[in-house]
Amino acid sequence: MRVLIVNTSERTGGAAVAANRLMKALNNNGVKAKMLVRDKESDALTVVGLPKSPRLHWHFLWERLVIFCRLHFSRKHLFEIDIANAGTDITKLREFQEADIIHLHWVNQGMLSLGGIRKILQSGKPVIWTMHDIWPATAICHLTMGCHYYINRCANCKYLPGGGNSHDLASHIWRKKQQLLAEGNIYFVACSRWLESEAKSSALLKGQKITSIPNPIDTHIYKKGNKQEARQRLGLPQDKKLILFASQRVTNENKGMSYLVEACRQLSDLHKDLCEVVILGGHAEEMVAQLPMKAHPLGYVNDEQRVVDVYQAADVFVLPSLSENLPNTIMEAMACGVPCVAFKVGGIPEEIDHLKNGYVAAYRDATDLAKGIAWVLQEADYESLSQQAVHKVTQCYSQQSVAIKYLDVYQQAMAFINYKL
């Protein structure tokens, strides 16, 4: 079986990380998997970049320009919506023609257009689409943030000027997606049971097959290590409790850094000299002045072993995101034996078992977030939390367990295509 995994980026972003890990998991379990990306960043033979062309950049710019105009030339929400009006036709590529299964992941920002996806469906090959966010089930948004129009029909979109109207851009793209999905079947896979439920409630995906399979992680790389040695390698203090926060861009409001700042303020009032904060991600240095305790900004780290060192050095990982699917960062921290504290939102409660391997705080409640951090660091049986975190990852997110689930989906999709023929 030959599988072609399609994603915009090879390494940048959570979807890219997950797609790359899935490719490795499949190859380690008897499947010939390749990855097709627009942004190739390594010399890996199993990853193929789109043929170099000025059009690649133009596809991205054209979509942003159209959205910019529809936003009345405001940058607000410019990168929060996608309309897939431009992209590459991948059906002519040798990698596509050789594949038995086409497995889409995050294909936005000029990678694939809706017309390009239609051509993929018309090829007759089975198509799997892993949902890393809600965009495949809505018109234009990746995060609904409490909006439920997609249950019946997207329109009056809050991301558009004035809240949109009944015949706005969202309504237009909704109709285009409806027409596309009426022409062919896609087997949708959500990365969490929460997102599966959201997708099944969408009128857009009515009649489509939808299931959930978590992202995989390599537990041979992400594993418990010596905390003192990891701190020594990173130049971090040995005598403090270290609170870790990580994000691709830590200033992203959706990642909830302001709630961590407030939680740390409350913690510092009670435990002034107990804790320090480690910040991993882009723009980390911008957040240092906001924290009431000493912080160590490590910036954006590409080296995977250094990332593992950061997790192994931490005492607790905190992710106060306001919207999440199934965060890779929580999975990575747990694999390294680090208990996690996060808000009760999206697929997070599926990863963190409350009071067993971490703490699930009330949504947008900085006080409960602080309570959870203090509980992990001072009240709980820390070694038990750590062991349970590793056990959860080994049982649910290992490469083999996830690969087996995807193999079943591939076989179902191929059997359905053969039945139709």
Q: Residue range 109-113: average pLDDT?
A: 97
Residue 259: strand, helix, or coil = helix
Q: Report whether pLDDT(415) > 90.
A: no
What's the mean pLDDT when you consider all of the chain? 94
Phi-psi label, residue 67: left if phi above 0, alpha if psi -120 to 50, beta otherwise: alpha
Q: How confident is the model at residue 97 (pLDDT cuts 50, 70, 90)?
A: very high
pLDDT tens for each residue of 373-403:
999 999 999 999 999 999 999 999 999 999 9
Q: Report whether pLDDT(421) > 60.
A: no
Which DSSP string corresponds to 14-69?
HHHHHHHHHHHHHHTTT-EEEEEEEE--S--TTEEEPPP-HHHHHHHHHHHHHHHH
Q: Residue range 41-66: average pLDDT?
A: 95
Say which DSSP state 191 is in.
S
